[in-house]
Amino acid sequence: MLLTTHGLGIGHTKGRPLLSDLDISVSQAEILALTGRSGSGKSTLLYTLGTLMRPLVGEVVIEGEPVTTWPQARQAAFRARRLGFVFQDALLDAGRSVIDSVTEASLYAGVSRGSVHQRALELLSKLEVTDLDRRRPGEVSGGQAQRIGVARALLMSPRLVLADEPTGNLDPQSGAVVLNVLREYADQSGSGVVIATHDPVVVGLCDRVVNLP
Amino acid sequence: MKARLLVGEAVADLRSQRWRTVLLIGSLATCLILLFGVESRVVQTRASLDAAIDAPGARLIRITAYDTAVQVYPPQIDALRSLSVARAVFAITAPEGARSRATPALGDGTVRWYEGLIPPQTASPPCRSAMAGPPAAASVGLPDAVGDLRTEHGMVSLGGLWAIPRELGFLSATVLVRACEGAPPMKELVIVVDDPQHLEAATAAGVALFSATDASKLTVRSEQHALDQQRSLLRIVEADSRALQRWVALALTAIATLLLGSYVVQRRSEFGRRRAIGATSSWVACLVLVEALVSALVACALGVTVALVAQRMLMPGGFSWAFAAGAACMTLAASALGAVIPAFLAASADPIREVRVP
């Protein structure tokens, strides 16, 4: 099993968990959809799985390692090498080019931007945002920015991809491109993908769905 | 490898959007280096003064004009040449008209010391555009004297504060021009000889000088402590200069803190994103520190260049690479110190807060 949680309780205030007793799992090459109404805790759960937040109770185990108990620096190194994040907003660096935004993920894994440049271009091409690599984020559309964010998440071949509404800013055609890329990535690398979404089309393409109360 | 990546990232960040930091720190570095240059000039002047006085057969004549402005007439210079005096120290009290907002200490009746080289006799044609001296001035290289006086004023003290070199140049030129254009008459010409053995020669020179001025009284006397007074003045000036350098360094640190702090606040979202995708808080802190140091390095290069050009123009011979290196080190240290709090702020950026869409 790639990811498992045991009796997970998450939330922002101790004693008032947003979600409790969560036992979820993601196996290799599986795409899991997290659904639920707004404010149900989808994003919070995603951040907890991604070691950005500590759970109130319980633990998250990724590839057999209890990542939520680690110190912050070790968690950061883990995120850099093994996790890929797609944020709700693309969060590209406004002062840098698109290619810099994509290759930024390599820095924290101790890999130079130059050595992942070719892979970044390939990913941009797969996501149908070629010829944008020298542009600044202000010169691309919201949908293009979101696809660039997906390329950044996949750059370091993470074992687990955590995507928060990855198709929220995309038209159906672009959304399908993103989902296909995520599907292909999961199938080829055996990595798991967790997607927090409202979109029934996205849910329909996932292997399994966890509906949060 | 990680350090190389960090420095590369900092340089790329600066190239993309942080040139304002470099320019501001650079301008402060320029000020610092100019101040160091002034101090270096003082040290050089003192050393050369000491050497001139201590050299066998050397003579120092101090010409003091009380209650008026000095008029360095060519006959005075000729008289000093006849005594083989290479360097003279002039005490000047500026006329009331010289008081200005930029030089408030002038015109208060205080005697201020100037030092000037006595230029060798040259065959160059005279030029009197700057000063309207007496007719005899036309036959002597007067502009040389004025120029030398202006550039040799490294130790002018303005009410205990340093003036920047440009101010010194402007000030001294103004005093000299004003003195010639309508200064009040000289009341007394005093020639002070440090070595009593030279009293006789100085008296002869004094007579020549006296006839060239409109002073009504001539006094020639020896004064053993004249040189000590001069040296003590230089020490005060040095201390003033060092105190001002400390203040500039403190200001540099404070400005670096504010500037980098404001950039960090603007870039909190960026630091949050960096942390979310794998940067450790120490990596983020180091990025801010390295950016500050790289900015300071570029700024120092800029500062040295500007200071070099400025000092060549305003205070020839006043630039010292050793002092410039000292100022550069101080700039680097101030920038690093100023980056500590911003680095801490950047490292504490909360990734959740910054990446979450409300």
Q: Where are the domains of chain B?
A: 2-40+241-355, 43-234
Give whichever of A117-121, B171-175, B233-237 has the largest mean pLDDT.
A117-121
Model pLDDT, residue A21: 86
The CA distance from A64 to A2, in Å, is 8
Residue A112 and residue B8: Cβ atoms within 8 Å?
Answer: yes
Q: Name the CA radius of gyration of chain A, rounded.
A: 17
Q: Is A115 on the interface with B (CB under 8 A)?
A: no
Model pLDDT, residue B275: 92
pLDDT at B296 > cutoff 60: yes
Q: Is B7 on the interface with A (CB under 8 A)?
A: no
Token output for A3: 């990811």
Mean pLDDT of B84-108: 42
To the nearest whole Å, the CA of B5 is away from the closest chain A CA by: 6
Q: Dihedral (C-alpha) A126, A132, A134, A136: value to the nearest 10 degrees? A: -120
Model pLDDT, residue B154: 30
Nearest to A148 by CA among A173, A112, A181: A181
Model pLDDT, residue A76: 92
Model pLDDT, residue B269: 86
Q: Is A79 on the interface with B (CB under 8 A)?
A: yes
Q: Is B13 on the interface with A (CB under 8 A)?
A: yes
The CA distance from B79 to B81, in Å, is 5
Helix (H, G, I), strand (E, B) or coil at A7: strand
Mean pLDDT of B165-183: 30
pLDDT-above-70 percentage for chain B: 32
pLDDT at B284 > cutoff 80: yes
pLDDT at B191 > cutoff 60: yes
Model pLDDT, residue A148: 92
What value does the mean pLDDT of chain B take? 59
Give whichever of A100-109, B27-36, B245-254 has the largest mean pLDDT.
A100-109
Model pLDDT, residue B102: 36
A52 contacts in B (CB within 8 Å)? 276, 351-352, 355
Q: Is A85 on the interface with B (CB under 8 A)?
A: yes
Q: How confident is the model at residue A134 (pLDDT cuts 50, 70, 90)?
A: confident
Residue A110 and residue B273: Cβ atoms within 8 Å?
Answer: no
Residue A60's beta-bridge partner residues?
A: A5
Q: What is the side-by-side strand order in the sheet with A208-211?
A: A83-86, A160-164, A192-196, A31-35, A208-211
B4 contacts in A (CB within 8 Å)? 112
- CATH number of the domain that A179 lies in? 3.40.50.300
Q: Are B152 and B90 in contact (CB under 8 A)?
A: no
DSSP B83-152: TT--EEEEEE---GGG--SS-TTTTSS--EEEEEE-PPP--SPP--SS----GGGGGTTHHHHHHHHHHT
Selected for mutation to probe chain A from B20, B277, B282 (highest A CB count within 10 Å) is B277
Domain of residue A160: give its range: 3-211
Considering only CB atoms, A89 lies closest to which of B12, B278, B357, namely B357
Q: How confident is the model at residue B107 (pLDDT cuts 50, 70, 90)?
A: very low
To the nearest whole Å, the CA of B277 is away from the closest chain A CA by: 6
The CA distance from A190 to A176, in Å, is 20
User: Pick the residue with more confidence: B327 or B50?
Assistant: B327
Q: Is A70 on the interface with B (CB under 8 A)?
A: no
To the nearest whole Å, the CA of B354 is away from the closest chain A CA by: 9
pLDDT at B279 > cutoff 80: yes
Model pLDDT, residue A152: 93
A76 contacts in B (CB within 8 Å)? 275, 278-281, 283
Q: What is the pLDDT of residues A22-61, one digit of tens each?
A: 899 999 999 999 998 888 888 889 999 999 988 988 899 9
User: Pick the residue with more confidence: A209 or B305?
Assistant: A209
Q: Are B212 and B75 in contact (CB under 8 A)?
A: yes
Q: How confident is the model at residue B173 (pLDDT cuts 50, 70, 90)?
A: very low
Q: How confident is the model at residue A184 (pLDDT cuts 50, 70, 90)?
A: very high
Q: How confident is the model at residue B321 (pLDDT cuts 50, 70, 90)?
A: confident
User: Pick the residue with more confidence: B178 or B232?
Assistant: B232
Considering only CB atoms, B356 lies closest to which of A43, A96, A105, namely A43
Q: Are B245 and B36 in contact (CB under 8 A)?
A: yes
The CA distance from B110 to B70, in Å, is 13
Q: Which amino acid, residue A53? A: M
Nearest to A63 by CA among A78, A80, A48: A78
CA atoms lying within 13 Å on the CB side of residue B296: 29
DSSP B251-308: HHHHHHHHHHHHHHHHTHHHHHHHHHTT--HHHHHHHHHHHHHHHHHHHHHHHHHHHH
User: Pick the residue with more confidence: B141 or B25?
Assistant: B25
Mean pLDDT of B291-312: 78
Q: Are A154 and A123 in contact (CB under 8 A)?
A: yes
User: Pick the residue with more confidence: B186 or A207?
Assistant: A207
Least confident of A98-102, A123-127, B178-182: B178-182
Chain centroid offset of residue B223 CA? 30
How many helices (H) and strands (E) chain B has is answered by: 12, 5
Residue entry with tokens 């020839």: B316
How many C-beta atoms lie closer than 10 Å to residue A114's C-beta? Answer: 10
Distances (CA, A) of A139 to A92, A96, A190, B263: 12, 11, 35, 23
Q: What is the pLDDT of residues B37-71, one digit of tens each?
A: 665 555 555 555 555 444 444 344 444 333 223 33
- Which ipTM did the prediction report? 0.91
| Residue A169 parent element (H or E) | none
Q: What is the pLDDT of residues A6-15, one digit of tens each?
A: 888 888 777 6
Restricting to A residues 125-164, those with a Cβ less than 8 Å away from any Cβ of B are: 152
Restricting to A residues 166-195, those with a Cβ less than 8 Å away from any Cβ of B are: none
The CA distance from B95 to B109, in Å, is 8
Nearest residue of chain B to residue A74 (CA atoms): B280
The CA distance from B59 to B82, in Å, is 12
User: Pick the residue with more confidence: A134 or A206?
Assistant: A206
Selected for mutation to probe chain B from A13, A43, A93, A156 (highest B CB count within 10 Å) is A93
Q: Is B3 on the interface with A (CB under 8 A)?
A: no
Model pLDDT, residue B307: 72
Chain centroid offset of residue B3 CA? 39
Provide φ and ψ at B292, rounded to 5°. Answer: -65, -40
How many C-beta atoms lie closer than 10 Å to residue B230's C-beta? Answer: 21
Q: How confident is the model at residue B13 (pLDDT cuts 50, 70, 90)?
A: confident
pLDDT at B126 > cutoff 80: no
Model pLDDT, residue A173: 86
pLDDT at B1 > cutoff 90: no
